Amino acid sequence: MRVSSEDVAQRAGVSRSTVSYILNGHGDRFSQATREAVERAVAELGYRPHSAGRALARGQSDLVLLVLPISPNSQFSQMADRLTEALAEHGLSLLMCSSTASARSFAAVLTTARPRAVIALSQLSESKRTVLRSAGVRAIDIAHAISQPGGPNWSVGRMQAEHLMRRGYRRIAYGRLTEARDDVLLGAREQGVREACQAAGMGEPQVITVALRADADLDAIGSLPLGTGLACYNDDTAAAALAAARVIGRAVPEDLGVVGVDDTPVAAQTSPRLTTIGFDLPVSYDRLAQLLLHHDPADTEFADMGECRLIQGEST
């Protein structure tokens, strides 16, 4: 239930103007008692001014735009730009916010921007889901959608494992990322690896954690038996694994096979060159825009199979 400054005024027993004045730094005109009453009412009701009203009255909103140089190679950058253009054709504007910001500031953004929808490329935490629900804002969780069993990320994992087996590795391991905020993606990829192992009659894959910090990663890589094929969460993880293997003297691809995901530039620069899996996000930007304009997009509509392609390097 939306709470307006009218509600606050009523509860504090004053007029709406008084509330507005006090909340906008002109409180010195009022008595101590009035100020306190208003502030108490605000706190009790959890009032936050409606951004559109504010913006309309003042002529400018409370948004601050941060223009970020997203690396031009990143999948995200491409996606953001295409989405921006696709949405613009339908009169919608795309803004971004960091997925690592706190749930509280996320809530603030929601009540300030009051967006038509939220698209999440990384999994939304439970607290943010709650915030979204109570704000009545529709969310499209792409990470979740493309991580269904049988979906693209799952296929990526399967492809990694099957490739490693084809190259003759008889033990398979999985390299997780420590700071795995992208739980769903990781889960789906790992699950794909796991099922491929089962299908081939191998045991459960050994799972190690890669921290992207040399000191911490040496032990993890060292714990892998010779002849292991390591499927990594992404290219960064794989690159870190390669670096650790080099330090502790594991020969790649002989003693250890490594395969990444994403086909980022880093894959082409490692030594030996990384085998990786390129992978287009199976999202039709225009369709996404259409869905945002209408209603109730089922998440599963995005679970179409994306194209995965193996890029053979020298690490397997």
Give me the phi and psi of 141, to 5 degrees please: -95, 95
Q: DSSP state, 62?
A: S
Q: Is the Cα torsion angle 75, 180, 275, 213 positive or negative in sign?
A: positive
For residues 112-131, which are near a copy of itself according to CB under 8 A? 112-122, 124
Which helix or strand (DSSP H or E) is residue 223 part of?
A: none
Instruction: Kindly identify the residues of this chain, within the stretch 31-70, that bind DNA according to CB under 7 A.
Output: 31, 33-34, 47, 49-50, 52-54, 56-59
Among 5, 123, 153, 228, interactor with DNA by CB under 7 A: 5
Q: Binding of a copy of itself at residue 235 (CB under 8 A)?
A: no
Residues 70-109 that bind DNA (CB under 7 A): none
Per partner kind, with CB cut-offs from 5 to 8 A, the member of a copy of itself, DNA, none near residue 285 is none
- The CA-based dihedral angle spanning residues 175, 181, 183, 188, taken in that order and rounded to the nearest 10 degrees: -60
Pair of tokens at residue 72:
């031009």
Return the number of the residue (85 or 204) whose C-beta is nearest a copy of itself. Answer: 85
Residue of 226, 230, 162, 168 whose CA lies nearest to 198: 162
Nearer to a copy of itself, 33 or 66 (CB): 66
Quickly tell me which residue has 């009051």 as its tokens: 114
Toward a copy of itself, which CB reaches closer, 70 or 165?
A: 70
For 29, 71, 105, 134, the CA distances from 43, given in Å and listed in that order, are 21, 42, 17, 18
Decide whether 212 or 310 has the Cβ nearer to a copy of itself: 212
**Residue 210 pairs with which residues in a beta bridge?**
177
**Residue 281 touching a copy of itself (CB under 8 A):** no
Give yes or no for residue 21 binding DNA (CB under 7 A): yes
Q: Which one of a copy of itself, DNA, none is in contact with 152 (Cβ closer than 5 to 8 A by kind)?
A: none
Question: Site for a copy of itself (CB under 8 A): which residue of 66, 126, 249, 254?
Answer: 66
Give the single-character DSSP code of 197: H
Exactly one of 52, 207, 226, 305 binds a copy of itself (CB under 8 A); which one?
52
Q: Return the structure tokens found at 200.
A: 């081939």
Stretch touching a copy of itself by CB under 8 A, among 26-34, 144-152, 223-231, 235-243? 235-243
* CB of 5 or CB of 153, closer to DNA: 5
Q: Total binding residues for DNA by CB under 7 A? A: 29
Total length of the chain: 316
Residue 101 binding: pick among DNA, a copy of itself, none (C-beta 5-8 Å cut-off by kind): a copy of itself
Instruction: Return d(Cα 288, Cα 211) in angstroms, integer.
Output: 34
Tell me if 63 contacts a copy of itself by CB under 8 A.
yes
Name the amino acid, one letter, at 168.
Answer: G
311 in helix, strand or coil? strand
